[in-house]
Structure 1
Amino acid sequence: MDERLITHLRHVDLAVPDYDRQLDFYTGVWGLSPETTDDGIAFLAAEGSPEQYSVRLRRAAEKRLDLIAFGAASPADVDALAERLGRAGVTLVHEPAALRTPGGGYGFRFFDVDGRTVEVSCDVAVRRHRRVEPGESVPVKLSHVVINSPDPEATVAFYRRHLNFALSDTLHSPHLGEVMWFLRTNRYHHSLAVARGPHTSLHHASFELRGLDEYLRGTGRLLRAGVEKVWGPGRHLAGNNTFSYFLDPHGNTVEYTTELEQLDEDTWHPHLYDFSDPMVTDQWGTANPMSEFVARQSFNDPDRGVFVAPPL
């Protein structure tokens, strides 16, 4: 098998029609910092993260997922991965080159099998970040991104074959079969997961908080602010992480989480969990039950940006 060249998740980029409302939500309610802003574009950082930004917002006529960005260790690894993808017939949006986004760096973009734009980069300048203090309920970092696919088996195969993601666990049910695959690119249980959905779209983006107390404080702060809660608070079995899912102003699901499991990759064997078992979806039993409503909210709107690269 080819060497794993992706090191970690960097950021998720969203295009939104009501840009000002979305910017107010992510900075004023969700707890990200406007690291760099310009007319109609904002780069929002998580206080505890060395990444230049965890979310990019762009004003656009239609809502879409602009891209998901991952890191690599060196220019040689970026070049090797671009060459590997090109040789396998994957469509490159652009070849490896200097990046013009905050922090610079060197990277390239490509379309995955569903038409999402994916970026891989290295040598991005480290952002001056800080230790998040006890009781401070702001995101430390972007934890993971989950995507919907109408053919999730093909999507999972793409990321495993071309990018060497490893399978951590799978969710299934007696009636629906396999419905979610958790993929990792380092010791964390997942930085990407693929869900079975009716169309290509963003399922949710998840943000790590400092600890349990901060996670619960953040969950309560959003509830008091009147943000619509989809599911939680609770603790999943796969990944052993806490979860509280909310809707941003454009109907994207965003999650507060903490304590995502770190695996011993040499000894880990993937589980097949039956999510019709309440202990699988929520070990604590504190969350509202998994239902068709919860699932439907995370289907999101069909992504209008497939196989169309964002303008920047």
Structure 2
Amino acid sequence: MTSNVKNPTLVTPQPARHPRPTVKAQTLAHLIFERPDLDKAEKFLVDFGLRITHRTDDCLCLRATGSAPYCYRVHRADQTRFVGLGFTVASKEDLIKVSGIPGASAIQEATLPGGGQFVSVTDPSGFTVEAIFGQTPVLPLYHRSALPVNQPSDTARVNQTQRSPAAPPEIIKLGHVVLEVADYQATSGWYTQNFGLIPSDVQVLPDGSPAVAFMRLDLGDTPADHHTLAMAQGFMAAYSHSAYEVVDADAVGIGQRVLRERGWKHAWGIGRHILGSQIFDYWQDPWGDKHEHYCDGDLFTADRPTGLHQVSAEAMSQWGERMPKSFTKPKKNLANLCALVRNLRRSPDLSLRKLITLARLFA
């Protein structure tokens, strides 16, 4: 394990890869949301760059340009809520193994785009996780190639101009989701044990206890995104944001222009992350949930060791504006206050001192 932490007092175990996981997830298949207004959800997501693949009065599915049948699912409900996520697994045998996880459903037939079979299970923080096998891939959609860039010693573009289309950027794929949880150790350990996720980098507090784990898929010698799921210590289970890959930095920039012109609320960016290295830009949907355009992320094979780093607002980006306070500020309402009090009493990972430390680090 590599470390960028100076003299940490590692009194708390760090998230680590499991030696014999139940299965090794192959891709992040989709995210699941509940919304009271599917028309509003559709308008934002199409402006963001996703494509509609299924729509009824009660369900909306959208896709990227790749071969996945859909990557974003919205169900009509009275309240807005992030429900969970789906992973693809490699075989029917893997699906059977997932069905043996305590609390998992039996194998079910999928009726949404792509079909296949799935097992549903709930993680320790209450998020639904669907393991999927046997989906029928769809034909990829066109997306433009990355623009050729002139370098001082390599002029790839002569007698040609740069003119990116002034339209929503083409989403290549769903890249990752970031969750906040009160039960940090149990939840991060559940994903490493049951789906084989590998911590790429862990950010720690001054006392050495983990604050954020960036976890990638274990694809062996095949390079995997720096993180597919990130887990952050919070005072309750909550969606932080999800990220969607575009082809280049110009697509990130055009995405900002289009979303700004169409009246959507900006959250943070443009900048480049330190851990993961992505060029990023964040936007809020009609319910305030953050969605990220990104490009140029790091890729790691399974043999890359975990890194340890001090957590701070400065550690979130190499350049660009400092992360705004509003980015991590929780909503002030009675439900969240009740969750704070309840989880301070019962969660072994949570303390008032830790929450005060986190608040000060990002103030």
**TM-score bracket, shorter-length normalisation:** 0.7 to 0.9
Q: Compute the displacement of 1:193 (Å).
A: 0.6
Checking the alignment, whether the CA contact within 8 Å between 1:253 and 1:298 is kept in structure 2 is no
Checking the alignment, whether the CA contact within 8 Å between 2:313 and 2:323 is kept in structure 1 is no
Q: Counterpart of 1:296 in 2: which secondary structure?
A: coil
- Of 292, 305, 320, the residue aligned with 1:286 is 320
CA distance in structure 1 between the aligned counterparts of 2:297 and 2:316, rounded to whole angstroms: 15
Q: 1:111 and 2:145 equivalent?
A: no
Larger Rg: 2
Q: Counterpart of 2:106 in 1: which secondary structure?
A: strand
CA distance in structure 2 between the aligned counterparts of 1:76 and 1:249, rounded to whole angstroms: 40
Higher strand share: 1
Q: Counterpart of 2:301 in 1: which secondary structure?
A: coil
The amino acid across from 2:237 in the alignment is T
Q: Counterpart of 1:214 in 2: which secondary structure?
A: helix
The amino acid across from 1:53 in the alignment is Y
Residues 158 and 138 from structure 1, CA distance in 2 versus in 1: closer, same or farther, beyond 3 angstroms? same
Checking the alignment, whether the CA contact within 8 Å between 2:124 and 2:183 is kept in structure 1 is no
Give the alignment's TM-score, normalised by structure 1: 0.87
Counterpart position of 2:61:
43
Sequence identity of aligned pairs in percent? 25
Q: 1:259 and 2:287 equivalent?
A: no
The amino acid across from 2:204 in the alignment is H
CA distance in structure 1 between the aligned counterparts of 2:135 and 2:107, rounded to whole angstroms: 14
Checking the alignment, whether the CA contact within 8 Å between 2:89 and 2:95 is kept in structure 1 is yes
Counterpart position of 1:238:
275
Checking the alignment, whether the CA contact within 8 Å between 1:171 and 1:275 is kept in structure 2 is yes
Q: Compute the displacement of 1:117 (Å).
A: 0.8
- Of 74, 83, 106, the residue aligned with 2:91 is 74
Counterpart position of 1:151:
183
Checking the alignment, whether the CA contact within 8 Å between 2:211 and 2:311 is kept in structure 1 is no
Give the alignment's TM-score, normalised by structure 2: 0.75
Across the aligned residues of Structure 1 and Structure 2, the Cα RMSD in angstroms comes to 2.2
The amino acid across from 1:49 in the alignment is G
Q: Counterpart of 2:214 in 1: which secondary structure?
A: strand
Deviations 1:23-47 (A, max 9, x none): 11112x111111111112111111x
Q: Counterpart of 2:67 in 1: which secondary structure?
A: coil
- Of 129, 138, 158, the residue aligned with 1:127 is 138
The amino acid across from 1:24 in the alignment is K
CA distance in structure 1 between the aligned counterparts of 2:195 and 2:274, rounded to whole angstroms: 26
Counterpart position of 2:30:
11
Aligned residues: 290
Q: Counterpart of 1:6 in 2: which secondary structure?
A: coil
Counterpart position of 2:344:
none
Q: Counterpart of 1:95 in 2: which secondary structure?
A: coil
- Of 319, 329, 337, the residue aligned with 1:296 is 329
Q: Compute the displacement of 1:236 (Å).
A: 0.8
Gapped runs of 5+ residues in structure 2? Answer: 1-18, 146-163, 337-363
Counterpart position of 1:32:
50
Deviations 1:231-290 (A, max 9, x none): 111111111112211110011111111122111322x12112223262x3111x212x12
Q: Compute the displacement of 1:168 (Å).
A: 0.5
Counterpart position of 2:193:
161
Q: Counterpart of 1:256 in 2: which secondary structure?
A: strand
CA distance in structure 1 between the aligned counterparts of 2:332 and 2:42, rounded to whole angstroms: 22
Q: 1:210 and 2:247 equivalent?
A: yes
The amino acid across from 1:293 in the alignment is S
The amino acid across from 1:153 in the alignment is Q
